[in-house]
Every structure is written in structure tokens, then in C-alpha cells.
Amino acid sequence: MTDIKPWQIEPFGETVGTIDLMKSERINGKLTYTSIFRRGKWLSLIFVEPYNPEWAQEFEHIKRCISMNLGDLAVAIHHVGSTSVTGLAAKPIIDIDIEIASYDLFPQVCEKLATMGWRYEGDYGIAGREAFKPTKPLDFMSHHLYVCPSSSAEMRRHLALRDYLRENAAAADEYGKLKQQLAKQHGNDKDAYIDGKSAFIQEILEKTMK
């Protein structure tokens, strides 16, 4: 076996926007590949726009559709992220956390969401926040959909940040200006954009999650 040599993949001319580290596991008896870490760039420029009251209406539309299908499987369906804060500039993407009582219910939730048109994508390396992606065109605005158990520290951070910004207009205005500046500065580099917000967010969470 001493003649074994490293094998190098030949170069190829594909444009890659995102790289995922994947794992394989069986969910509901099916071999499923999910992402446990993600880095990359958007193919289009980051666009932060002034607050739009239609975002709240769109969240309610998505919430009603999910509630009808999940029923008691969902403890609550939370509008989180910047579009959930009145007056805050944001990317026009609705962030939604579906709260479930425990991971014991997760296989049933996965199955229900799959029938509606969402595929489980993994946690992207963030424990307690399971991501889902549409598998077909849906009659919804662009959105990020997550499922979190009630014990999820990540969901608690989402809610703490949202509630603080809702109650502190000056902080929300400062955050909006920061995001607009980062969007102009970083173009389509979503990792740099996210990293640029981290210190501001962490400062708020340190105030609210003691």
C-alpha cells in the first residue's frame, strides 16, 4: 500500500456562491444530507431597504399557512430578525422561528413541512436552530424558516434582540444605519456583512440576557 498517492480534483469552471460541510443521517427512515457549517457569498448584492409595513402582513400570511398544517406541533411561530421591528431598515427577507416543545417532535414537523414544500437543510453549525428551504415556488415573500425547541438558546437570542430593538427606537435606528453601511461596504460578501454586525448585536444581548 506504499504506492498510494494523494488524488487531486481537476479544476473545473463552476461559480460557487456557498460552501457547505455536510453530514448524513437517517430522518424518518430516509438517508438525509444536512449542512452543519456554511460560508460563502450571495450571487447578488446585499440590499438593505427602509422599513416596509407589508413585512408584518407577509409574516402573518406565512404564519397562518404554517399553523394550519402544524397545529399543536408548534408552541408558537415567531417573527424575528430586522423585518419584525417597526421602522428598522432591513433586507426584505422574513425571518421565522417555529418553536416546538422538544426535539421529540422534530421528525413529525419535518414531515409536515416537507408536504408544504420545505426541505430540512441542517443547522448550518448553529445548535438549536434547524433551517428549512423551499423545494418549490411558494406564494410567500422571500424568507428564512427555522425550527427551534423551546430550550433553544439561539431562539432566545433572536427574541431578546427583537424585543430590545422594538422597545428602543434609537438603537433600532443605529442598527439600521450600520446595516446600510455594511451592505455598501461589502457588496455580496454575506459573511463580512454578518461579522460586521456581531459586536453591535452582542452588546445588546449582554444587556438583555444576564
Tens-digit pLDDT profile for residues 42-87: 456 889 999 999 999 999 999 999 999 999 999 999 999 999 999 9
User: Above 90 in pLDDT, residue 93?
Assistant: yes
Question: What is the chain's alpha carbon radius of gyration, rounded to the nearest angstrom?
Answer: 19
CB atoms within 10 A of CB 111: 13
Tens-digit pLDDT profile for residues 131-159: 999 999 899 999 999 999 999 999 999 99
Q: How far apart are CA 45 and CA 122, in angstroms?
A: 25
Q: How far apart are CA 156 and CA 159, in angstroms?
A: 5
Q: How far apart are CA 22 and CA 33, in angstroms?
A: 6
CATH level 3 topology of 54-208? Beta Polymerase; domain 2 (3.30.460)
